Amino acid sequence: MKFNDLKVAVYADGADIEGMKAQYAKGYVKGFTTNPSLMKKAGVKDYVSFAKDVVTAIPDLPLSFEVFGDDFETMKKEAKIISKLGKNVFVKIPIMLTDGTSTKALIKELSAEGIQMNITAIFTTEQVKDAVDALADGTKNIISVFAGRLADTGNDPIPVMQETVRLCQAKKGTMSLWASTREVWNIFEADRCGCDIITVPNSVLDKLPSLGKTPIQGSMDTVTTFAKDIKALGFSILG
């Protein structure tokens, strides 16, 4: 299968605004997501200014910005500020607080007010069900399951993603998202599961030009790279 044959929408995952602009210019990315960890890595100093700059640079694709609060009152205030940044903005709400409290009640309240959300940090189908059940009919939302991180724990993410797709399809306007992508192959896995979206970091997006190469071409590229590095080292095993 070729990249152009995929049905899953590829979103870029990052918070480096120049990198986001570069991916936007390429034309194949269908949306963008960010999170606090990515903002820290990118050195973002002012959340609202950063978000406004992104909305200005990318006005016509879905953008997800996460709340920073860890209590319902703060998160609700932040969600309202974020949602007003643009019609293409989704407010990211973690599925739980740091003390383990479910945010289902907050999701239900915000959804009833018409705020479109990206429910994030999900690992289980039970969490997916809670989030989907809390969403108001007729609203547009995203359910982000961290398939990559789930796989990192030794758990198979495929059954979870398949059930996530089924649950999301039962609630009109709710899109399933494969998050924490680790490799290009994950894009094809997400597509096979029927996911609506997959978020992909720039480090993986940069590998897309390799799609279509045969295994033999990959082998040749590898030994050629080794040969160049051997020459650059400038020394010999034989002395």
Summarised one tens digit per residue, pLDDT across range 48-88 is 999 999 999 999 999 999 999 999 999 999 999 999 999 99
pLDDT digits (tens, 9 = 90+) for 138-174: 999 999 999 999 999 999 999 999 999 999 999 999 9
pLDDT at 187: 95
* Coil, helix or strand at residue 122: strand
Please identify which of the residues 41, 92, 171, 172 carries the catalytic annotation: 92
The number of residues in the chain equals: 239
Distance CA 7, CA 5 (A): 7
pLDDT at 1: 58
Q: Does the active-site annotation cover 92?
A: yes
Identity at 169, one-letter amino acid code:
Q
